[in-house]
Structure 1
Amino acid sequence: MTDRKPSSGGAFAHDFDTALRFLTTIPLPWPAPTSGRGLAGAVPSFPLVGAIIGLVLVASGWIAGLFWPPLVQAVLVVVAWGILTGGLHLDGVSDTFDAVMSWRPRERKLAIMKDSHIGAMGTLALVAVLLLKVAFLADAGASWWPAVLLAPMLGRWAMIAAIVWFPLARTEGLGSSVHGQVNRGTLSGISVVVAVTVVAIAGLGGIVAFLLVGSGAYLLGRWWTRDLGGLTGDTYGALCEATEVMALAAITAAARFAL
Structure 2
Amino acid sequence: MALSALRGAVRFLTRLPVGGDAGDWRAVTEAPWTFPAVGVGTGLLLAVPVVALGGRSLPLLAAVGYLGLWIGLSGITHLDGVADLGDAAVVHGDADERVAVLKDSEVGVGAVVALLLATLGTALAVASVADSFRLLVVGTIVGAEVGAKAAMAALACLATARHEGLGAQFTESNGPQDLLPVALVLGATAGGVWYLVPAALPAATLACAAALGGGWLLARWANGLLDGVNGDVFGAVDVAARLAGLFAGAVLAGGGLP
TM-score interval, smaller chain: 0.7 to 0.9
Which 5+ residue runs of structure 1 have no aligned equivalent?
1-10
Which 5+ residue runs of structure 2 have no aligned equivalent?
none
Cα deviation for residue 50 of structure 1 reads 1.3
Alignment match, 1:242: 240
Matches of 2:255 and 2:237, distance apart in 1:
27
Matches of 2:4 and 2:56, distance apart in 1:
39
Cα deviation for residue 183 of structure 1 reads 2.7
Alignment of 1:119-138 (within 5 A): 119-138=108-127
Question: Do structure 1's residue 111 and structure 2's residue 103 form an aligned pair?
Answer: no
Contact map agreement 1:159 1:239 (CA 8 A) in 2? yes
Alignment match, 2:169: 177
SS of the counterpart of 1:48? helix
Contact map agreement 2:86 2:111 (CA 8 A) in 1? yes
Cα deviation for residue 150 of structure 1 reads 2.2
SS of the counterpart of 2:160? coil
| Aligned residue pairs, count | 246
Letter of the structure 2 residue corresponding to residue 14 of structure 1: S
**Alpha-carbon distance change, 154 to 211 in structure 1, aligned in 2, over 3 angstroms:** closer
Contact map agreement 2:211 2:243 (CA 8 A) in 1? no
- CA RMSD for the aligned pairs? 2.3
Alignment of 1:81-92 (within 5 A): 81-92=70-81
Cα deviation for residue 85 of structure 1 reads 0.1
Cα deviation for residue 67 of structure 1 reads 7.0
TM-score (norm. length: structure 1): 0.85
Question: Do structure 1's residue 16 and structure 2's residue 14 form an aligned pair?
Answer: no
Cα deviation for residue 137 of structure 1 reads 1.3
Contact map agreement 1:60 1:77 (CA 8 A) in 2? yes
Matches of 2:139 and 2:151, distance apart in 1:
18
Matches of 1:128 and 1:225, distance apart in 2:
20
Matches of 1:152 and 1:120, distance apart in 2:
28
Cα deviation for residue 258 of structure 1 reads 5.3
Alignment of 1:1-259 (within 5 A): 11-28=1-18, 31-33=19-21, 35-36=23-24, 37-65=26-54, 69-140=58-129, 141-142=131-132, 143-170=136-163, 172-194=164-186, 197-198=189-190, 200=194, 202-257=200-255, 259=257
Matches of 1:79 and 1:90, distance apart in 2:
13
Q: Find runs of 4+ consecutive structure 1 residues off by over 6 angstroms.
A: none
**Alpha-carbon distance change, 18 to 189 in structure 1, aligned in 2, over 3 angstroms:** closer
Cα deviation for residue 27 of structure 1 reads 2.0
